[in-house]
Amino acid sequence: METERSLREKCGVFGVFGHPEAPLLTREALLALQHRGQESAGITVATGGELRTVKGMGLVPQAVPEGALSPLRGTAAIGHVRYSTTGASELQNAHPLAFLVRETPVAIAHNGNLVNAVRLRRELAEAGALFQTSTDTETIVHELARRLGGPDRDWLTALGEALLRVAGAYALVLLVPGALYAARDPLGIRPLALGRLGPAWLVASESCAFDAVGAAFVREIEPGEIVRLDAGGLQSARLPAPRRALCVFELIYFARPDSQIGGISVHEARKRLGRRLAQAAPAEADVVLGVPDSSLPAALGFAEASGLPFELGLIKNRYVGRTFILPSEGERRAGVRLKLNPVPDVVRGRRVVLVDDSIVRGTTARRLVEALRQAGAAAVHLRVTAPPYRHPCYYGIDTSLAEELVARSGSVEEVRALVGADSLAYLGLEDAIDALGMGDGFCHACFSGQYPVPVGEAGGKRSLETGVVG
Ligand code: SF4
């Protein structure tokens, strides 16, 4: 799971309207979405005519202690787990962000990146807007404020007009007293789902959050759809949505296997990729291993299609912190070593197929191959269920710097030599899309360089602090 250390998800969002336990239910849901961001977490509750926010740095249990929520009574809430991809990792930028928009308290939480935020921010500042954070998300709030002419102005329409100004990826939830809005960008790059729990409505980045609170998955929020949830029920509006471009990497790696995205279970999607990889790049081997956790379904698929036995040959120590937060390469290597350990009895004297979902910098793959050899593997054939990762993502995934992407300049043979495997094969893009069996409505820019939303105006993670684009 190279990605766990080198690609960082930006965020998960959740919202509930019409449930007496909205604050605690939101906290439970955020725990289920924790894999999407570990830097900060927060919850905003609508209580009477006010919005109250609890947020902090770190994982959900530290950032939003249960005790801090118990005094908050309310039937509507939104929540967020964050890994920063725009704006520094600090409490001021942690979501939900709270504002006063024309006398109305507003809280917003966002997953994704806006690619024209630097220009919009400049234009809004020139028109008198005062920014409180260095996140791209705040531009949406200022665009909304400009379109809310008075108390009678319809918020659904105003939000739609504001969203027409922004470009990029967003799955967002916005809370005001008496209503909750949820919106997904016109290409549906980031996922967003709608759920039901009794009379309450829920929205979440992934359906696994619904399972965590005993709710039912109803459907996806469609690309370009904006929903308003209030005491009257659900109202929906649509932005023009030319086509679909769901992030294919959500299926390959980011999402939890027990979620459903784009009409398919993520577990099944990964098995299909593994099966296709076994057909496209078979290996002379005795056993198939997957890199825990995200590559296990793909390894199962590979084993199924190749007729080789699947074994749990790498054990993950769940009590070691995530390795990507370790600052130096040396510490990262030590972290990987502590975190994933081969089972000698499984690999000793056997030719191993190791299935992983990506190779980004190559550090982890090299370490795993080395560890398998030390444990006695007779050969290690590395199989990757995605094409080579060659281009940075501008839509909400914090990739390594372009120059750190090992496949960007290296050939497959060079990467193989670097990681020390006996053989290396990636799944081709066409094969991956075909194996998923969901048509071609995907963003695959990090593999193909074909960006579905032009990224010429996009800045880096700190561009809103520096004003530097590109
Ligand atoms: S560039 Fe890659 S990681 Fe980013 S949204 Fe597209 S498919 Fe997902």
pLDDT tens digits, one per residue of 427-468: 999 999 999 999 999 999 999 999 999 998 776 555 555 544
Q: What angle do CA 237, 238, 244 make, to 5 degrees?
A: 145
Q: Given this model, what pLDDT does residue 211 score?
A: 98
Which pLDDT score is estimated for 3? 39
- The candidate with the shortest Cα–Cα distance to 199, out of 76, 370, 60, is 76
Ligand 1 center to residue 22 CA distance, Å?
Answer: 32
> In terms of DSSP H, where are the helices of 328-375?
329-339, 344-347, 363-374
Task: Determine the distance from the C-alpha atom of residue 320 to the mean position of all C-alpha atoms in its chain, rounded to a whole number.
Answer: 21
Q: What's the rounded Cα separation, in Å, for the pair 422 and 403?
A: 25
State the distance from the centre of ligand 1 to the C-alpha of 399, rounded, in angstroms.
Answer: 10
Contact between residue 365 and residue 384 where contact means Cβ atoms under 8 Å apart: no
pLDDT of residue 466: 52
CA of 137 to the centre of ligand 1 (A): 19
Q: Which residues of the chain have pLDDT under 50?
A: 1-6, 151, 323-327, 467-470
Helices within 348-461 (DSSP H only): 363-374, 406-409, 412-419, 429-436, 445-448
- Does the beta carbon of 395 lie inside 6 Å of ligand 1? yes
Average confidence score pLDDT of the chain: 90
Locus of tokens 């039901």: 196
Whether the CB of 300 sits within 6 Å of ligand 1 = no
* pLDDT at residue 334, rounded to an integer: 57
- Return the residue whose CA atom lies nearest to atom 5 of ligand 1: 247
Atom of ligand 1 nearest to the CA of 169: 5
**Does the Cβ of 397 fall within 6 Å of ligand 1?**
yes
For residue 368, the CA-to-ligand 1 centroid distance in Å is 25
Q: State residue 460's pLDDT score.
A: 57
Choice among 11, 208, 247, 446 that is catalytic: 11
User: 14: which strand partners?
Assistant: 79, 204
In the residue annotation, 11 being an active-site residue is answered as: yes
Q: Which of 247, 220, 255, 112 is nearest to 171 (CA)?
A: 112
pLDDT at 88: 62
Gap between the Cα atoms of 212 and 200, Å rounded: 15
Per-residue confidence (pLDDT) for residue 108, from 0 to 100: 98
The Cα 375–Cα 126 span in angstroms is 62
Is the peptide bond prior to 154 cis by the omega test (within 30 degrees of 0)?
Answer: no
The DSSP string of 444-470 is -HHHH---SS--TT-B-TTHHHH--B-
Could you list the beta-strand ranges (E) of 239-350.
246-247, 260-261, 264-265, 287-290, 314-316, 340-342
Instruction: Note the pLDDT of residue 323.
Output: 47
DSSP strands (E only) in 18-153: 40-47, 50-57, 76-82, 97-101, 104-111
Percent of residues, the chain, with pLDDT higher than 90 = 76
Rg (CA), the chain: 22
Query: Is residue 120 within 8 Å of 20, Cβ to Cβ?
Result: no
CA distance 33 to 30: 5
Domain with CATH 3.40.50.2020 in the chain: 267-438
**Dist. CA 191 → ligand 1 center (Å):** 12
pTM: 0.91
Task: Supply the pLDDT for residue 325.
Answer: 42
Strand-strand pairing, 225-230 and 233-238 = antiparallel
Nearest alpha carbon to residue 81 among 229, 227, 256: 256
Q: What is the pLDDT of residue 326?
A: 47
Q: In the CATH scheme, what architecture does the domain 267-438 have?
A: 3-Layer(aba) Sandwich (3.40)
CA dihedral 388, 390, 395, 396 (to 10 degrees): 70
Cβ–ligand 1 distance for 203 under 6 Å, the answer: no
Q: Say if residues 265 and 331 touch (Cβ distance below 8 Å).
A: no
CATH architecture of the domain 3-245 equals: 4-Layer Sandwich (3.60)
pLDDT for res 468: 45
State how far the Cα of 50 lies from the Cα of 106, in Å rounded to an integer.
9
Token pair recorded at residue 72: 């908050």
Q: Residues of CATH 3.60.20.10 domain(s) within the chain?
A: 3-245
* Rounded CA separation 396/401 (Å): 14
User: Does the Cβ of 251 fall within 6 Å of ligand 1?
Assistant: no
